[in-house]
Chains A and B, each alone.
Chain A
Amino acid sequence: MSKIIAQDKSISVPGETLAVGMDILPGTGAYRDGEKIVAKRLGLVTIDGRTIKLIPLSGRYIPKTGDTVICKVIDVGFNGWRLDTNSAYSAMLSMKDATSDFIARGANLTQYYDLGDHIVCKIVNVTSQKLIDVTMRGPGLRKLKGGRVIEVDPNKVPRIIGKQGSMVMMVKDATRCNISVGQNGLIWIDGEPVDELLAIQTIRKIERESHMSGLTDKIKEFLENSGKK
């Protein structure tokens, strides 16, 4: 007889038994040990039918195919750029994925992206050895000019973006800033200095209170109140 021991939406720590029984399946963040389903990390228990998975609450960014990330150029080579992805691994942007311009052999690539530039790009491939390929071909992928880049906890990014981008839209409208959120926890903000500061304050507030319910309303109120000052 199978039995689910852990409660839905509770916190579990590594090694904790979540359920017993062969007809329950371990999802991400859990593993099977004989009859038992055991937690493999610190996370929020989510029971979905017969599957038990754990939503991570902390940890560094792990690159995934399809993620849109904000990266910094750390090296310029013969046929591409090396980028810092805010994770343990750097990414490679090859010339053909960067631009459709004709680039002559041996041309100076810094005229496209120079050292220290931030770019929005998309991860197209991650190998088992964590070699990362990114592309600049796609809507919204570009070099970031001006503005400032801040770092947040990558696990809080979904909350900052909100459902269908509702949260970030609200911050954008209220602060009149351009904002780009990378899945790797880097956020680019560009606007008037005062507005930029307000946007940063708001994002930090979302990050801090990401676990609370009714956050959208709270942030709306916060933005309205700070606008009056």
Chain B
Amino acid sequence: MPYTKRIDGRGFDETRKIEAKVGVIKRADGSAMFKIGNTWAYAAVYGPRNLHPKFLQDPQRGILRCNYNMMPFSSSGERVRPGGSRRSKEISLVTGKALLPVLDLEEYPNSVVDVFIELPQTEAGSRCAGICAASMALADAGLEMKDLVSAVSAGKVDDKLVIDLDYAEESYKDGSVADIPIAIMPNSGKITLLQMDGEIKKDELMRLIDMAKKALNDIYEIQKKALKEKYHEVEM
């Protein structure tokens, strides 16, 4: 059966419903929540703080440590075994690499900025939600950044190009699926994360990136609004 209409009735270039909030974890130096559909991400930032073990210290700049963690019963499939896995290690790594280009850590030599991303419930697009939450939390922690980072997954289901795939689309059985998480710096338009699972033609990929950029601009506005809302009463 050809894929003519999305299962939840969205347009092909529409994301699921997004909700964002900053300052959700009081003990952290910076924190944020980012919900996209049924995927919820919470990010907490601690630091810059003292880095141990000492051999990890970089005398030229501070380092960024990301930790992505899905909670045991967060996904619709089997229970996720607690603790790190091959998958979470990979996502922690790419999250760090997606965020590092905007961060200026040269002011904090020998120190570390820790980012913890927790996902209480997920339904596809979790690494993108994690990156969105983490970039807001880093800004909330008062770190110097060139820009924010916004991320969304894009892809091809059967022969249709779609934005923000949900679980049913990711596991679509009647045709081929390509899943492509994209993160950009919204003001410069530079890409900081581009991964792909599946197959897609070059011109389709280029079209998909343009589609994603449009969706990412909307996500950026939501992130910006959430950050400003925390201080909406400020008047000195």
Chain A contact residues, CB within 8 Å of chain B: 9, 11, 13-17, 29, 31, 38, 40-42, 44, 56-60, 62, 87-90, 128-130, 155, 211-213
With A16-B224, A38-B187 already in contact, the answer to whether A58 and B141 are too (CB < 8 A) is yes
Give Cα distance in the complex from A211 to B20, angstroms: 23
Which of B80-88, B104-112, B161-169, B201-209 binds A?
B104-112
Q: Which of A16, A29, A211 contacts B234 (CB 8 A)?
A: A211
CA distance in complex: A40, B105 (Å): 12
**CA of A58 to CA of B139, assembled, Å:** 9
B235 near A211: Cβ-Cβ < 8 Å: yes
Chain B residue nearest to A215 in the complex (CB): B236
- Which of B50, B59, B142, B146 contacts A57 (CB under 8 A)? B142
A48–B172 alpha-carbon span in the complex (Å)? 57
User: Does any Cβ of A come within 8 Å of B148's Cβ?
Assistant: yes
Q: Which of B4-12, B67-75, B225-233 contacts A (4 or more CB under 8 A)?
A: B225-233
Given A60-B29, A88-B108, A11:B231 Cβ within 8 A: yes
From A40, A59, A213, contact of B141 by CB (8 A): A59
Besides A58-B141, A59-B141, 13 more A-B contacts (Cβ < 8 Å) are A9-B234, A11-B228, A11-B232, A14-B146, A17-B187, A38-B146, A41-B144, A42-B140, A57-B142, A88-B49, A88-B50, A130-B111, A211-B233
Task: Tell me which residues from 91 to 108 in chain B have a Cβ below 8 Å from any Cβ of chain A.
Answer: 102, 104, 107-108
**14 A-B contacts, Cβ less than 8 Å apart?**
A11-B234, A13-B139, A14-B145, A15-B145, A15-B146, A15-B186, A42-B142, A57-B231, A58-B140, A59-B29, A60-B49, A88-B111, A89-B110, A211-B236
Smallest Cβ distance from B109 to chain A, in angstroms? Answer: 5
A44 cross-chain contacts in B, Cβ below 8 A = 231, 234, 236
Binary interface profile of B, 139-182, with partner A (CB < 8 Å = 1, else 0)?
Answer: 11111111110000000000000000000000000000000000
Which residues of B come within 8 Å of A, CB atoms? 29-30, 47-50, 59, 62, 102, 104, 107-111, 139-148, 185-187, 223-224, 227-228, 231-236
CA of A196 to CA of B30 in the docked complex: distance in angstroms? 29
Knowing A11-B228, A13-B224 are in contact, say whether A42-B139 is a contact too (CB < 8 A).
yes
Tell me which residues across on chain A come within 8 A of B223, comparing CB atoms.
Answer: 13
Expressed in whole angstroms, the minimum distance between the Cβ of B50 and any Cβ of chain A is: 6
Q: Which of B59, B140, B231 has the most chain A CB atoms inside 10 A of its CB?
A: B231
| Chain A residues with CB below 8 A from B62, complex form | 88
Q: Which 3 A-B pairs have the closest CB atoms?
A: A59-B142, A15-B147, A14-B145
Q: Which residues of A contact B108 (CB under 8 A)?
A: 88, 130
Residues of B within 8 A of A56 (CB): 142
A212 vs B236: C-alpha distance when bound (angstroms): 7
**Within the complex, which residue of B29, B109, B145 is in contact with A40, where a contact is CB–CB below 8 Å?**
B145
Partner of B59, one of A31, A42, A129: A129
B109 and A58 within 8 A (CB): no
- Are A211 and B48 closer than 8 Å at their CB atoms? no
Could you tell me if A58 and B30 are in contact, using CB atoms closer than 8 angstroms? yes
- Residues of chain B within 8 A (CB-CB) of A41 are 139, 142-145
Closest to B227 in A: A13
**Residue of A60, A90, A129, A213 most packed against chain B (CB within 10 A):** A60
CA distance A51 to B33 in the complex (A): 34
| CB nearest neighbor in A for B235 | A213
| Contact partner, A15, options B30, B59, B148, B236, Cβ 8 Å | B148
Task: Report if A89-B111 is in contact (Cβ < 8 Å); known contacts: A44-B234, A57-B234, A60-B49.
Answer: yes
CA distance A91 to B139 in the complex (A): 27
Residues on B with C-beta less than 8 A from A59 are: 29-30, 141-143
Q: Please indicate the chain B residues that have their CB under 8 angstroms from the CB of A16 in the complex.
A: 187, 224
Return chain A residues, CB-CB under 8 Å to B231. Answer: 11, 44, 57, 211
Specify the chain A residue showing the minimal Cβ separation from B147.
Answer: A15
A40 near B146 (CB under 8 angstroms)?
yes
Contact A212 B139 (CB under 8 A): no
A58 to B234, CA, bound (A): 13
Residues of B within 8 A of A87 (CB): 48
- Cβ distance B36 to chain A, nearest Cβ, rounded Å: 19
